[in-house]
Structure 1
Amino acid sequence: SEYICLPDDPIYGSKSRTLSSPESNVYGAEYNGGSSAWGDHSAYQDAPCAVCRSHESTALMIPGRNMCYTGWTMQYKGYLASSFYNHAAQYNYVCVDEHAEYLPGGSRTDYGALFYPVVGKCGSLKCPPYKDSQYLTCVVCTK
């Protein structure tokens, strides 16, 4: 699965749902994990959607760093996030800004698309340079 950004102004088609038809659900994203990575009171807060626009031609998210390489321009930095490691549906990795924002009034818990901070686990991931069970940073860079 992947996290998607739904617009604030949906336009629906003429088809309507029937009670007998199978369906899939989409939920808004929530911060989870009881983590200080998103702020002290972030648990179950709804996460806003963001689209990064740049005049540069290439955008790159670099996990495990909070600084761009020479020649690249930083757009934002933060912490790597994904779904919980043992949830049935695994999401892709995203970079959540270190100054995470919350949607007003969004503390209802739906357990849909949840952001958990990602930690490195030593083994096939070489330690050092990585540290076991430490939050991984990330940076979004353009060039």
Structure 2
Amino acid sequence: SGPTFTIWGKNACPNVNGTEMVYNGFTGGKSYSEKGGGANTLCLPHNPEKLPYGISVIDGDDFGHLYGAEYQFSVHRVHIQEDVPCAVCRVKMASSSIMIPGKHSCPTYWRKQYSGFLTASWHEYESTEYLCLDDDPDFIEGSRRDDNGRLFYPVKTVCGSLPCPPYENNVLVGCVVCSK
């Protein structure tokens, strides 16, 4: 097994001996105008899988947001406002793990470490990384004080630059961590 990397702006991995594609899809992340949401950029698969359960929140709008990505320049065959593709690639003969947003199963021949749901800061707060929180998270005993700090919110999709279909608007996003 080998390390993984994402190639941004391409539908396929480089044509290099020993490099293979794990999956390809759409580039996604927070809106440039929102202070909150996830801070990192994601490669979203073409075939998302629905979260098999709901999540209760305090307020109806207590979610991070996940948007698609657009180019803000033109170069070669690419034009302003076009959406950005991505591919996640693996270099053979090493050891790796990967978090895949929008899925709860792993690609063929990958081992699932855990599945869960995508979390980030609330979309009105400062940014955080999108992180895959386990389906069945634990808590620290005696920690029920309202101290704030780094806050986790579930993330919902926002259609537009994020293509719907295959994605659906205002839907919670699952995730899985796989190893090979």
- TM value normalised by structure 2: 0.48
Is 1:122 equivalent to 2:159 in the alignment?
yes
Q: Runs of 4+ in structure 1 displaced over 2 angstroms?
A: 36-39
CA contact (8 A) 1:38 1:98 kept: no
Of residues 36, 45, 55, the one that matches 1:37 is: 55
User: Residue deviations 1:35-94, cap 9 Å, x none?
Assistant: x6389xxxxxxxxxxxxxxxx81010000101101111000000000101111x200010
**CA RMSD between the two structures:** 1.8
Tell me, in whole angstroms, the C-alpha distance in 2 between the residues paired with 1:99 and 1:140: 14
User: 1:36-75, aligned counterparts within 5 Å?
Assistant: 37=55, 57-75=95-113
| Aligned equivalent of 1:51 | none
User: 1:1-143, aligned counterparts within 5 Å?
Assistant: 37=55, 57-87=95-125, 89-143=126-180
Tell me, in whole angstroms, the C-alpha distance in 2 between the residues paired with 1:69 and 1:105: 39
Q: Residue 103 of structure 1: SS of its match in structure 2?
A: coil
What is the Cα deviation at residue 117 of structure 1? 0.2
- TM value normalised by structure 1: 0.60
User: Residue deviations 1:80-112, cap 9 Å, x none?
Assistant: 00101111x200010000011111011111221
- Which structure dedicates a bigger proportion of its chain to strand? 2
For structure 1, the residue ranges without an aligned partner over 5 or more in a row are: 1-35, 40-55
Which amino acid is the alignment partner of residue 60 of structure 1?
I
Q: Residue 133 of structure 2: SS of its match in structure 1?
A: strand
Percentage of matched positions with identical amino acids: 42
Aligned residues: 91
